[in-house]
Structure 1
Amino acid sequence: MGICDSCHSGCCRSFAVPISGADIHRFTHHENKAFWDFACRWEDSEGLISRNLAPHFYFADDPAVPFVICLKHIPSVSFPGTTKCRFLTECVPDEEHPKGLGRCSIYGSRPHTCRSFPAKLNDSNELAILYDIPSNGRNGEAAYDLCPRQWNASDLEPNDTIQSLVIAQYEMTFFSKIAAIWNQNPGEWNNFPEFIDIIYSNRISSEPQSSSKQVPSEVGQTKSHSTEGLGPARKAA
């Protein structure tokens, strides 16, 4: 039995999960999800969410506050008064599983941040390093209990793990370049989905681009596009 097989998914309850523009594009185009249904901006003034990996975005309606784009949390049914990932499906607790079971409803399309947990690349980007998992992810409540034991190498498929980590790093690096452009003249939160969609829908070119043009030329044009019909701004609690 794998370490996650009988778990109530405390990790999907405890953490704000950063997502990249590629994750956003995949969910909206291939999973047919509305941006406002799965994404939120999570205030990150102390850098505890970004951890120098995910970029900070600033927005015109709150220009002094750094935000990380994350999967949205919603109230938990199994643990009233707590929250969980928007995509976590909860199973009713029973005698065998007193905390219930948790299952990801988009497991095949989950973000690479989730795929690579709990590992990171070493300094040479050649090996995956497992990091220690605390017993509880937030405030001591049972909903936020994490793994029953520490992970070891046999819990993860080595090649898949490395590939997920490399892709996650690449996409967050690209996303950071997009953030730098956005932050030069922060737009409204309502405009953000269209901005991201235009960029990530134009990542394939019919002709080679020089190294100085590593983001689509459409990036500089996106803020002038209409945002009529987009959903309301939301701010994670």
Structure 2
Amino acid sequence: MSPCQNCHAGCCRSFAVSITGADIIRIERELKLNFWDFVCRWEDREGLITRGQAPQFYFDDEPEVPFAICLMHSQSQFFPQSTKCRFLMEGAPDRDFPLGEARCGIYGSRPSACRIFPTRLSSSGQIAEIYDIPSHGRHEQLPIYELCPRPWIPADLDPVQTVEDLVIARFEQLFFQQLARVWNKSPQSWASFPDFIRFVYEKRLIRKTADDLEAEIPATIPFFRAA
């Protein structure tokens, strides 16, 4: 049985989930949601959210403050002193499950950061490694922030799907980092960020003719050409 079975979702309560532009586009499209329904920016001065992996973005309303792009949190229904991922569906606590049971409301469309937890690519990039999970997701040693009830083992995960998810996650993270470098050269408003994301990702798919192949014009984020 997976460690996630019957879980109260301490991870979804503890962490701000960093998302990429690809995650945003997928959730908008598959769930028919608007950017403002689920995306937020979290102040990340100390890098505790991005942790050197996800990019930080700057905006002209607070030009000195680095932000992480994340899923929104909302108030917990059953633990009002805490928040949870906006998409976490909570079950009421009972005698068998004093913290309740919870599940992801967008499991099929969940972000890459959720898909690959708790794994990472090896240094060779060919093997998935399961990393150790701390007992709690926050410094507060509260039951609601308890993480996995037991260590993960290889049998808990699909070896093909896990590596595939990790490779895609790495690619999308690198692309999002490149996008952040472009944006941060001339930060605009937070209100304009959704249009920027959609514009860039729509340009990721092009058609090349035989003449194009002969000319072999480099294709990259279009903003680089204007720089």
What's the TM-score bracket when you normalise by the shorter of the two chains?
A: over 0.9
Query: Contact (CA 8 Å) 1:10, 1:137: kept in 2 or not?
Result: yes
Task: Write the mapping of 1:50-61 to structure 2, written as runs, cut at 5 A.
Answer: 50-61=50-61
* Structure 1 CA distance for aligned equivalents of residues 20 and 224 of structure 2: 16
Kindly tell me the number of residue pairs found equivalent between the two proteins: 220
Match of 2:67 in 1: 67
Task: Tell me what 1:201 maps to.
Answer: 202
1:163, CA displacement in angstroms?
0.7
Residues 1:165 and 2:166 are matched in the alignment: yes
The separation in 2 between residues aligned to 1:73 and 1:63, in whole angstroms, is 24
Cα drift, residue 177 of structure 1: 0.9
Which residue pairs with 1:180 in the alignment? 181
Structure 1 gaps of 5+ residues are 222-237
RMSD across aligned C-alpha pairs, in angstroms? 1.7
Q: Quote the residue 1:233 is aligned against.
A: none
Q: TM-score, normalised by structure 2?
A: 0.92
Match of 2:129 in 1: 129
Output aligned runs, 1:87-106, within 5 Å: 87-106=87-106
Match of 1:47? 47
Q: What is the deviation of 1:213?
A: 3.1
* Cα deviations by residue, 1:30-87 (Å, 9 ceiling, x for unpaired): 2111111111111111122112221110000111111110111111012111010000
Amino-acid identity (%): 50
1:87/1:211 CA distance change after superposition, 3 Å? farther
For the pair 1:110 / 2:71, whether they are aligned, the reply is no
Q: How far apart are 1:101 and its partner, in Å?
A: 0.6
CA shift, 1:202, in A, is 2.2
Cα distance, 1:183 vs. partner? 0.3
Q: Is the 8 A contact 2:30 2:109 kept in 1?
A: no
SS for the counterpart of 1:172 is helix
Residue number in structure 2 paired with 1:13: 13
> What is the match of residue 33 of structure 2?
33
The answer on whether the counterparts of 1:58 and 1:64 sit within 8 Å (CA) in structure 2 is: yes
Cα deviation per residue 1:174-206 (whole Å; 9 max; x = unaligned)? Answer: 011111110000000000011101111221101
The 2-side partners of 1:28 and 1:218 are apart by 23
- Cα distance, 1:29 vs. partner? 2.0
Match of 1:143 in 2: 144
CA-to-aligned-CA distance 1:107-151 (integer Å, 9 cap, x gap): 011011101100111111111111111111111121111111111
1:66 maps to a residue whose letter is P
The letter for the 2-side match of 1:150 is P
CA contact (8 A) 2:182 2:223 kept: no
Structure with the bigger percentage of helix? 2
Aligned-pair distance for 1:220?
7.2
Name the counterpart of 1:155: 156
Q: TM-score scaled to structure 1, two decimals?
A: 0.88
